[in-house]
Structure 1
Amino acid sequence: MKLLAFLPLLAGLAAPALGQTTPAPAKQVVEASCGQCRLGLPGKGCDLAVRIGDKAYFVDGTSIDSHGDAHANDGLCNAIRRAEVSGKVVKSRFVATSFRLLPDSVATGR
């Protein structure tokens, strides 16, 4: 019987925790390109990668083919582009929660 009296109390304490959300990762602008063709990452084939600071990471959560023809003149195998991304690095890979190439954004240098 005492247990039944405490159930509403427990439910009241748990309710605020259910309404809490994890803040979305901050967006940042990075260089994006083919990891093997442009960013010096190992492997065969063409896989999407980003460079954050001076370090390049393969991307999980989207693919190179999701962002146009990779082998076009401005494609990710032929150019380093700028992209607005959010996500985090997990085990040396960038896990993207959002990924958007910026229009007309061929990065210079490197």
Structure 2
Amino acid sequence: MMKKLVVLSVLLFFACSENKEKTFVAEVSCGQCQFHLTGQEGCDLAIKFEGKAYFVDGAHIDDFGDAHDKNSGFCEVIRTAEVTGKLENNRFKATSIKLIEK
């Protein structure tokens, strides 16, 4: 009984913590061109962390320059950013995305 209670507590903790806004470093790029996401047409901003990619709400792919620029566009390259937001309904709700220049 105690073991089940501990497992349930851990699951509840993770379920609740996923809804909170967090800041972390993630890959940022075009969901379709670079992360091979489906379900939307055209080119849309996405982040990838912990091996999984998510479309982004709260920022647009062209907010960071021309998405098709050969050197820096998200349809051409994967960049690194500090992102703030939360996962909700299998999408990333961004409140901040700051590119990290290498």
TM-score interval (norm. to shorter) = 0.7 to 0.9
Q: Deviations over 1:53-106 (max 9, x none)?
A: 1110000011001011100022100000001101110000000011111124xx
The whole-number CA distance in structure 1 between the counterparts of 2:87 and 2:21 is 11
Give 4+ residue runs of structure 1 displaced > 4 Å after superposition: none
Structure 2, unpaired ranges of 5+: 1-19
5+ residue gaps in structure 1? Answer: 1-23, 105-110
1:62 is matched with which residue? Answer: 59
Distance 2:21 2:96 in 1: 9
Report sequence identity in percent: 51
Separation (CA, whole Å) in 2 of partners of 1:47 and 1:87: 17
Larger Rg: 1
Corresponding residue for residue 32 of structure 2: 36
Correspondence 1:69-108 to 2 at 5 A = 69-73=66-70, 74-104=72-102
Q: Which is bigger in relative contact order (C-alpha 8 A, separation at least 6)?
A: 2
Q: Aligned-residue CA RMSD in angstroms?
A: 1.3
